[in-house]
Amino acid sequence: MPGGEYVYISTKAPLPEKVIKVIEKRAEKGMRGIASTDSEVLNDAAIAMEKIQHEEGAKTGRHIVVVNHGMSFDEQRLQYMPAWAVSVPGPVGVYPSKAEAVAAAQAWVAGRPEFRTYIVVDALG
Protein backbone atom coordinates (compact mmCIF):
# COMPACT_ATOMS: atom_id res chain seq x y z
CA MET A 1 0.00 0.00 0.00
CA PRO A 2 1.14 3.57 -0.48
CA GLY A 3 3.05 4.85 2.50
CA GLY A 4 4.38 1.40 3.40
CA GLU A 5 1.21 0.10 5.08
CA TYR A 6 0.67 -3.66 4.88
CA VAL A 7 -2.76 -5.19 4.40
CA TYR A 8 -3.63 -8.82 5.03
CA ILE A 9 -5.34 -10.31 1.99
CA SER A 10 -7.22 -13.50 2.75
CA THR A 11 -7.31 -16.17 0.08
CA LYS A 12 -10.83 -17.03 1.21
CA ALA A 13 -12.45 -13.59 1.03
CA PRO A 14 -12.95 -10.73 -1.44
CA LEU A 15 -10.28 -8.02 -1.57
CA PRO A 16 -10.64 -5.32 1.08
CA GLU A 17 -12.28 -2.17 -0.30
CA LYS A 18 -9.25 -0.02 0.53
CA VAL A 19 -7.07 -2.27 -1.64
CA ILE A 20 -9.54 -1.97 -4.53
CA LYS A 21 -9.49 1.85 -4.16
CA VAL A 22 -5.68 1.91 -4.37
CA ILE A 23 -5.76 -0.19 -7.54
CA GLU A 24 -8.48 2.04 -9.03
CA LYS A 25 -6.43 5.16 -8.31
CA ARG A 26 -3.38 3.66 -10.01
CA ALA A 27 -5.51 2.60 -12.99
CA GLU A 28 -7.08 6.06 -13.30
CA LYS A 29 -3.61 7.58 -13.63
CA GLY A 30 -2.30 4.97 -16.03
CA MET A 31 -5.41 4.82 -18.21
CA ARG A 32 -6.11 8.53 -18.74
CA GLY A 33 -5.76 7.93 -22.47
CA ILE A 34 -9.06 6.04 -22.71
CA ALA A 35 -10.76 9.44 -22.92
CA SER A 36 -8.95 10.15 -26.20
CA THR A 37 -10.07 9.72 -29.80
CA ASP A 38 -6.46 9.23 -30.93
CA SER A 39 -6.01 5.53 -31.68
CA GLU A 40 -2.36 5.53 -30.55
CA VAL A 41 -3.27 7.12 -27.21
CA LEU A 42 -6.11 4.60 -26.76
CA ASN A 43 -3.72 1.77 -27.55
CA ASP A 44 -1.23 3.04 -24.96
CA ALA A 45 -4.05 3.19 -22.39
CA ALA A 46 -5.02 -0.42 -23.19
CA ILE A 47 -1.41 -1.53 -22.73
CA ALA A 48 -1.26 0.36 -19.41
CA MET A 49 -4.50 -1.35 -18.32
CA GLU A 50 -3.09 -4.80 -19.07
CA LYS A 51 0.12 -3.98 -17.18
CA ILE A 52 -1.82 -2.78 -14.14
CA GLN A 53 -4.07 -5.85 -14.22
CA HIS A 54 -1.04 -8.14 -14.37
CA GLU A 55 1.01 -6.36 -11.68
CA GLU A 56 -1.84 -5.82 -9.24
CA GLY A 57 -3.13 -9.33 -9.91
CA ALA A 58 0.29 -10.75 -9.00
CA LYS A 59 0.34 -8.69 -5.78
CA THR A 60 -3.19 -9.65 -4.70
CA GLY A 61 -3.57 -13.15 -6.13
CA ARG A 62 -6.69 -12.06 -8.01
CA HIS A 63 -7.80 -11.89 -11.61
CA ILE A 64 -8.81 -8.24 -12.08
CA VAL A 65 -11.43 -7.08 -14.53
CA VAL A 66 -11.63 -3.39 -15.45
CA VAL A 67 -15.01 -1.73 -15.93
CA ASN A 68 -14.11 1.42 -17.82
CA HIS A 69 -15.83 4.45 -19.29
CA GLY A 70 -13.89 5.79 -22.22
CA MET A 71 -13.97 6.35 -25.94
CA SER A 72 -14.57 3.44 -28.29
CA PHE A 73 -14.81 3.36 -32.07
CA ASP A 74 -18.40 2.66 -33.13
CA GLU A 75 -18.25 0.69 -36.38
CA GLN A 76 -21.87 1.49 -37.28
CA ARG A 77 -21.51 5.24 -36.86
CA LEU A 78 -17.85 5.33 -37.98
CA GLN A 79 -16.86 7.61 -35.11
CA TYR A 80 -15.63 7.49 -31.55
CA MET A 81 -18.37 7.33 -28.94
CA PRO A 82 -18.36 7.18 -25.14
CA ALA A 83 -18.81 3.60 -23.96
CA TRP A 84 -18.87 1.50 -20.82
CA ALA A 85 -16.81 -1.64 -21.33
CA VAL A 86 -15.62 -4.69 -19.40
CA SER A 87 -12.14 -6.11 -19.98
CA VAL A 88 -10.69 -9.59 -20.05
CA PRO A 89 -10.67 -11.93 -18.21
CA GLY A 90 -14.31 -11.13 -17.40
CA PRO A 91 -17.45 -10.75 -19.51
CA VAL A 92 -15.74 -8.76 -22.28
CA GLY A 93 -17.91 -6.29 -24.14
CA VAL A 94 -19.42 -2.87 -24.47
CA TYR A 95 -22.47 -2.21 -22.28
CA PRO A 96 -25.26 0.37 -22.60
CA SER A 97 -24.69 1.76 -19.09
CA LYS A 98 -22.39 1.75 -16.09
CA ALA A 99 -24.98 -0.21 -14.12
CA GLU A 100 -25.06 -3.01 -16.70
CA ALA A 101 -21.27 -3.15 -17.02
CA VAL A 102 -20.81 -3.28 -13.23
CA ALA A 103 -23.56 -5.92 -12.91
CA ALA A 104 -21.80 -8.10 -15.49
CA ALA A 105 -18.48 -7.72 -13.63
CA GLN A 106 -20.14 -8.44 -10.27
CA ALA A 107 -21.76 -11.60 -11.65
CA TRP A 108 -18.37 -12.76 -12.92
CA VAL A 109 -16.72 -12.05 -9.55
CA ALA A 110 -19.53 -13.85 -7.70
CA GLY A 111 -18.49 -17.12 -9.35
CA ARG A 112 -15.13 -17.10 -7.50
CA PRO A 113 -14.84 -14.05 -5.19
CA GLU A 114 -11.69 -15.40 -3.58
CA PHE A 115 -9.89 -15.33 -6.97
CA ARG A 116 -11.62 -12.48 -8.82
CA THR A 117 -12.29 -8.78 -8.39
CA TYR A 118 -13.16 -5.76 -10.50
CA ILE A 119 -12.31 -2.08 -10.52
CA VAL A 120 -14.11 0.88 -12.09
CA VAL A 121 -12.28 3.57 -14.09
CA ASP A 122 -14.42 6.45 -15.37
CA ALA A 123 -12.16 8.51 -17.61
CA LEU A 124 -15.06 10.59 -18.92
CA GLY A 125 -16.38 11.51 -15.48
- Is pLDDT of 9 > 90? no
pLDDT at position 5 is 82
Contact 65, 109 (CB under 8 A): yes
Mean pLDDT value across the chain: 94
pLDDT tens, residue by residue, 25-57:
999 999 999 999 999 999 999 999 999 999 999
Supply φ then ψ for residue 74, to 5 degrees: -90, 110
Tell me, what's the pLDDT at 7? 85
| pLDDT tens, residue by residue, 14-26 | 899 999 999 999 9
